[in-house]
């Protein structure tokens, strides 16, 4: 019997977890590749052609790619990176329309400014923002909104993994950040043709991960971020903590996050929605219309026994309507991101072996080795050159204590800076 085909466009980052899971469940994974090159190195390393039964290479002719992919008769088409969303949308619309998202709102799932505009149009509060090519237009907006002297965030409207996201404390230097960003290409080779400037939000940052079917959203996990300032970047990932599905404690956060998915027309498949809980209530940071990155689904399975991957399998099995609204947190889990404050070669990565003796130590993920070259931890891609350590324990306080123990160990890290 021929196995049903599931296609993944640009199966990078956590989307690389789909292929082995699909194969094990009796499906035939197919990759659709529309670009390969050094600019995608931060995510391309997760792509293994041997994990797929076929690879369809897209060379710019969408109709031709749809025809070649259509010959394989896929039952579902997903994407592994935001930049793959337009091609995946067109392929899905043509070949599997029942699993499509609203094509009229595709830009709202891809472009941060239009995303916030769509969420605001749905009646949800969002941060004040402007997207422009002229810094004088931004200056007038700052004056008009009463944001003079206030903290600002400056970023590309199509950024991912906090790449290029910068802060301007008290508004100082925003113009230099703006003009320096305009016209550049980021780590994913995305051209910044306009720049987004927002008021900087304060509060606690969360993310809600979901898998949706026909407009019904199933929450697979909720996480709380801890970030620390680093240079001009917005912040560095310090740790991520998995939270219980508790509508009493997090009801406002959940309602806002799911309403944001509706607002951007996300009806099917995965999303990673980042929200700041401010003193005035929840405010959208961004909806990422894809799986949560950095291997999040694998860690979620440690915490809950299921994940966006397992629920994607439910979706392609035809069980999407039966997916539960939430999940059960089986044990406290935290991912502690290792940090480098300079770019260079690591000389004593063996110090991290000391973490194995911590009571909540579970496993390492991509932890750096002696002799490895690492980047200063300014965004998620740089952080992944250092890796992270998973902590899991019945007692949340033990996890917090072990996180601080890892930071103490890290103080002895030696890096030879690049010349």
178 in helix, strand or coil?
helix
Query: Domain 204-417 - what CATH class?
Result: alpha beta
pTM for this model (two decimals): 0.93
pLDDT, tens digit, for every residue of 245-301?
A: 999 999 999 999 999 999 999 999 999 999 999 999 999 999 999 999 989 999 999
Query: Domain 128-199 - what CATH class?
Result: alpha beta
**Sequence ranges of the domains in the chain:** 5-100, 128-199, 204-417
Angle between helices 112-121 and 247-263 (to 10 degrees): 110
At 36 the pLDDT is 52
At 83 the pLDDT is 86
At 306 the pLDDT is 98
At 74 the pLDDT is 98
At 376 the pLDDT is 87
Q: Exposed, middle or buried: residue 408 (CB in 10 Å: 0-12, 13-18, 19+)?
A: exposed
For the chain, what is the radius of gyration of the CA atoms? 21
At 45 the pLDDT is 62
Cβ proximity of 32 and 69 under 8 Å? yes
Ranges in the chain, pLDDT < 70: 1, 35-45, 159-163, 187-189, 230-235, 419
How is domain 5-100 classified at the architecture level of CATH?
A: 3-Layer(aba) Sandwich (3.40)
């Amino acid at each position: 019997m021929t196995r049903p085909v599931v296609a993944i466009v640009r199966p990078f980052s956590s989307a690389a977890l789909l292929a082995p899971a699909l194969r094990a469940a009796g499906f035939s994974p197919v990759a659709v590749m529309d670009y390969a090159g050094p600019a995608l190195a931060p995510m391309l390393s997760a792509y293994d052609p041997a994990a797929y039964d076929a690879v369809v290479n897209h060379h710019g002719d969408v109709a031709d790619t749809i025809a070649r992919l259509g010959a394989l008769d896929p039952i579902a088409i997903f994407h592994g990176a935001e930049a793959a969303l337009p091609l995946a949308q067109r392929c899905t619309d043509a070949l599997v329309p029942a699993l499509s998202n609203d094509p009229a709102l595709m830009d709202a799932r891809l472009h941060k400014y239009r995303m916030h505009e769509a969420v605001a149009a749905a009646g949800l509060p969002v941060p004040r923002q402007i997207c422009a090519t002229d810094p004088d237009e931004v200056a007038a907006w700052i004056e008009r909104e009463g944001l003079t002297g206030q903290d600002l965030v400056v970023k590309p409207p199509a950024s991912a993994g906090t790449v290029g996201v910068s802060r301007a404390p008290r508004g100082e230097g925003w113009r230099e950040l703006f003009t320096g960003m305009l016209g550049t290409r980021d780590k994913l080779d995305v051209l910044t043709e306009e720049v987004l400037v927002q008021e900087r939000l304060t509060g606690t940052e969360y993310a809600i991960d979901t898998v949706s079917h026909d407009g019904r959203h199933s929450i697979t996990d909720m996480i709380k971020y801890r970030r620390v300032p680093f240079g001009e970047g917005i912040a560095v990932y310090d740790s991520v903590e998995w939270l219980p599905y508790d509508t009493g404690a997090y009801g406002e956060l959940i309602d806002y996050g799911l309403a944001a998915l509706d607002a951007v027309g996300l009806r099917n498949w995965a999303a990673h929605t980042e929200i700041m809980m401010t003193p005035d209530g929840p405010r959208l940071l961004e909806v990422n219309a894809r799986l949560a990155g950095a291997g999040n689904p694998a860690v979620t399975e440690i915490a809950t026994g299921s994940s966006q991957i397992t629920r994607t399998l439910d979706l392609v099995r035809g069980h999407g309507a039966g997916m539960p609204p939430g999940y059960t947190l089986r044990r406290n889990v935290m991912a502690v991101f290792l940090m480098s404050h300079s770019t260079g070669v690591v000389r004593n990565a063996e110090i991290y072996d000391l973490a194995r003796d911590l009571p909540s130590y579970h496993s390492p993920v991509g932890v750096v080795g002696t002799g490895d070259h690492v980047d200063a931890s300014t965004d998620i891609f740089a952080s992944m050159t250092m890796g992270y350590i998973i902590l899991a324990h019945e007692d949340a306080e033990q996890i917090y204590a072990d996180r601080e123990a890892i930071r103490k160990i890290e103080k002895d890290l030696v890096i030879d800076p690049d010349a």
